[in-house]
Chains A and B, each alone.
Chain A
Amino acid sequence: MSQNHNHPTEHHELNWIQKYVFSVDHKVIGIQYALTGLTFLFFGFCLMMLMRWQLAFPGEPLPLIGKLFSDTTMPGGVMLPEFYNSLGAMHGTIMVFLGVVPLAVGGFGNYLVPLQIGAADMAFPKLNAASYWSYFMGGVIMLISFFVPGGPANSGWTSYPPLSDIASTGQTVWLLGMVFLITSSLLGSVNFIVTIVQMRAKGLSFFRMPFFVWAQFVTSFLLLLAFPPLEAAAVLQLMDRVAGTSFFLPSGLVVSGNPLTIAGGGNPVLWQHLFWFLAHPEVYVLILPAIGIVTEIIVNNTRKPLYGYKTLVYSVLFLGFMSFVVWAHHMFMTGMGTTMSSFFQATTMIISIPSVVILTCLIITLWGASIRFTLPMHFALAFLPMFAIGGLTGLPLGLTTSDIHLHDTYYVIGHFHYVVAPGTLFALFAGIYHWYPKATGRMMNTLLGKLHFWISFLAINGIFMPMFIQGIAGVSRRLHTPTMYAHAQAVQGTNVFMSCSAWILGLAQLLFIVNFFMSLKNGKKTNDNPWNGTTLEWSTPTPPPHGNFTKPPIVYRGPYEYSVPGHATDFIPQVQPN
């Protein structure tokens, strides 16, 4: 399509590698991020599908593909506990740091933020490319760790010491990989903030920015300020493992009957503080871009102004700030004392308020609208109840008393997966279906998309809903053989159901993959603004050329002027003068 539009920006002839591999164009980098992120998401999910076999049928050999695994992982197709631990740790790491965040922030953020603020590119294009390649290196290092002696990291994605300090080589490789990923997100977040502050189009004041840009803005601050403490923690743990320090190792530690020859005097809980100081804001890094995407899609498909735009903005700012003072609600069971616990319990209850405000605004936006049930709208609407279930099930975990029973059970797993899987991931799918026509000039197939939606929606609830039942029954997380406890045997039947749901979910993603690639060639061609959107990205040629806009855009109005009374169309683009 691009050859139909001549754009005046300077044009250099680039070869294929310069244009699509070592590109500095924010759109290409965004697509690189998105494709790499999607690949890692599927890979991380495959690890989980393997684990689900062991959980459903403990100790039975995996049929068909079981023989492909080595004797150190699955001899005769039966999964070893060590391998199960590795898969669990790497599933978490890959999904969070290599899948969701790169797709949501690196992919959608890079592609859309400059378009939505009317900029030609990000403020630092080369830094942007460096950010992607740093992420890519981090991913490669994580994959390499599968081939070191002892397998990849096996101390959980949280890498709690002392276990992680004395774990096999994979943990060191994990720490090195994390350093690359942290560097990547640091470079990215600096770039986003500078771009949003400095490069908004003429007339685009802060309160005329689409809500998605606000979400990315707050997310960038969380990445910028929360990741360095994890970097500090990673450095300290690396010193523990490589230089023999005892930052996280207490005195008198005995491993397999042998006392460790270390200086001691360290504090394992220190790691937890540093880790959760990152990892709680990280939860909001996972969810805020998703809320931004869902907001854009819901407003566009209700054909109504967004209810409470400023309320949403203030809520997301408050949410971002509060996310720095709730981290120790992950640590009620460490014996840090009731004073600390009460403080973090109070802040945790407070942070739920802006989340509820945001969700309420989105639901009220639906009220009285004649909703267009487009394909992305299916996923966006499903996001609302799924995120609500995820959020509300968090309350009993944030209260110290009920947390005693639920801590480290499957209830926790169900809670955060509801936020991140049918929550964030559905929002990301919605975003892909919504902006695919802008990036490629073609629509994705609606029938395949709806099949993908309905099967995924049912299957994903089939996986995570029973986790609440298991958790309340007291089943611990990270159990290689769930049947080893009598109380877990009572709910073993749910494991079979959940595993079957997981495999169906895996198959349903094939529909998405087929749709994604088929539509590149066979999708219905679209115009520049197929959804009749108002924000700036719909005013560019399709796909946007290098430099994005044919002439520098001027913004005359707020982001969501839908169904303005007395106007000929039901939408007024931000670039349309009065």
Chain B
Amino acid sequence: MSSALIPYIDEPHPVTGVTNSKLGVWLFLASEVMLFGALFSSYIILRVGAVTWPHGSAILNVPLATLNTMVLITSSVTMVMSWASLKMNKFGKFRFYLGSTIFLAFVFLVVKAFEYGAKFEHHHFPSTDNFYGLYFTLTGLHGLHILGGIVVNLYLLFPGSKLWKTNPEQFAGRVECAGLYWHFVDLVWIFLFPVLYLL
């Protein structure tokens, strides 16, 4: 409604060099860094204060997590490709790559669900000890972020893609912002994987 009044929605600001949304997403990611930063700090404090702390690789499923790492990194690549396709004006390829990103995100969640299921079967719950508590809290919160990314990407793939016809620049900008978020979610996992599974 007010879009006619607001500048720099589809073109970058001449001084800052970014659109409003891109600056907004970077700021949002800064706050996300603080969120996960606080959780990782809590991990450190709880771990150094603990009498005993299990070795992650002994009780968690490292091969499955490695597979998931691969899945997530590949999804980041397809995310970039979907944006690049838009920039090269190939809408069909964009749909393929964004669809792949969403598919891979679901694969990640399904693998994660199997991991959770195996833990519950062996009666390992968040209440078991603080290692499992942190494991479930951190991966759960990360899973919620994946779910949020899926919702955004589904929107861009189906109803949101109508914008491509009327304002391709703005649409490519939206895909780029979703991509920035997606890479961040990927990056969090890159930290979570060694911290929980390997150290």
Contact = CB atoms under 8 A, between A and B. Distances in A.
Interface of A: 9-10, 12, 24-25, 120-121, 123-125, 127, 186, 189-191, 193-194, 197-199, 224-229, 231-233, 235-236, 239, 243-247, 262-263, 265-267, 270, 273-274, 277, 546-547
Given A197-B16, A198-B20, A236-B137, A225 B31 contact: yes
Given A25-B2, A190-B24, A199-B7, A229 B130 contact: no
Interface stretch (B45-53, B102-110, B187-195): B45-53
Contact of A239 (B24, B37, B38, B133): B133
A277 B38 contact: yes
Contacts of B2: 24-25, 120-121, 125, 546-547
B130 A246 contact: yes
Contacts of B126: 239, 243-245
A186 B33 CA distance: 13
A228 B32 contact: yes
Contacts of A125: 1-2, 6
Contact of B125 (A186, A243, A273): A243
Contacts of A274: 38, 42
Contacts of B118: none
Interface string B61-72: 000000000000
A124 B50 CA distance: 45
B159 to A, nearest CB: 16
Contacts of A262: 127
26 contacts: A9-B4, A12-B1, A120-B5, A125-B2, A125-B6, A186-B31, A190-B28, A190-B31, A193-B23, A197-B23, A198-B8, A198-B13, A199-B20, A227-B31, A231-B38, A232-B42, A235-B39, A235-B141, A236-B42, A243-B136, A244-B125, A245-B126, A246-B127, A247-B42, A247-B46, A266-B46
Contacts of A232: 35-36, 38-39, 42
Interface residues of B, number: 41
A233 B38 contact: yes
B30 interface: yes
B34 interface: yes
Contact of A245 (B24, B45, B133): B133
Given A190-B28, A194-B24, A263-B128, A199 B6 contact: yes
A245 B130 contact: yes
A233 B35 CA distance: 9
B33 to A, nearest CB: 8
B34 A228 contact: yes
Contacts of B1: 12, 24, 125
A239 B137 contact: yes
Given A24-B2, A265-B130, A198 B46 contact: no
A210 B24 CA distance: 23
Contacts of A191: 24
A206 to B, nearest CB: 11
A265 B129 contact: yes
B49 A267 contact: yes
Contacts of B130: 245-247, 263, 265-266
The 3 closest A-B pairs by CB, nearest first: A244-B127, A245-B133, A120-B5
Contacts of A198: 7-8, 13, 16, 20, 23
A266 B134 CA distance: 11
B160 to A, nearest CB: 14
**Most chain B CB inside 10 Å of its own CB: which residue of A121, A229, A274:** A229
Contacts of B24: 123-124, 127, 190-191, 194
B182 to A, nearest CB: 18
B13 A265 contact: no
B6 A120 contact: yes
A52 B45 CA distance: 40
A228 B127 contact: no
A232 B32 CA distance: 10
Interface of A is mostly: helix
B5 to A, nearest CB: 4
B37 to A, nearest CB: 8
B27 interface: yes
Given A247-B133, A265-B129, 12 more contacts: A121-B6, A193-B27, A199-B8, A199-B20, A224-B27, A225-B34, A232-B38, A235-B137, A239-B126, A243-B126, A244-B127, A247-B42
A247 B133 CA distance: 8
A178 to B, nearest CB: 14
Nearest to B36: A232
Nearest to B133: A245
Contacts of A224: 27, 30-31
A270 B137 CA distance: 16
A234 B30 CA distance: 19
Interface string B126-166: 11111001101100010000000000000000000000000
Contacts of A239: 126, 133, 136-137
Contacts of B20: 123-124, 194, 198-199
Contacts of B35: 228-229, 231-232
Contacts of A243: 125-127, 133, 136
Contact of B5 (A124, A244, A270, A547): A547
Contacts of A186: 28, 31
Nearest to B23: A194
Contacts of A120: 2, 5-6
A189 B30 CA distance: 12
A229 B128 contact: no
A231 B37 CA distance: 11
Contacts of B30: 224-225
A152 to B, nearest CB: 25
A228 B31 contact: yes
A262 B49 CA distance: 17
A198 B49 CA distance: 46
Nearest to B5: A120
Contacts of B45: 267, 270, 273
A265 B50 contact: yes
Contacts of B137: 235-236, 239, 245
Contacts of A233: 38
A390 to B, nearest CB: 28
Contacts of A246: 127, 129-130, 133
Nearest to A10: B4
Nearest to B51: A265
Contacts of B34: 225-226, 228-229
B3 to A, nearest CB: 9
Contacts of B129: 246, 263, 265
Contacts of A247: 42, 46, 130, 133-134
Contact of B42 (A190, A194, A270, A546): A270
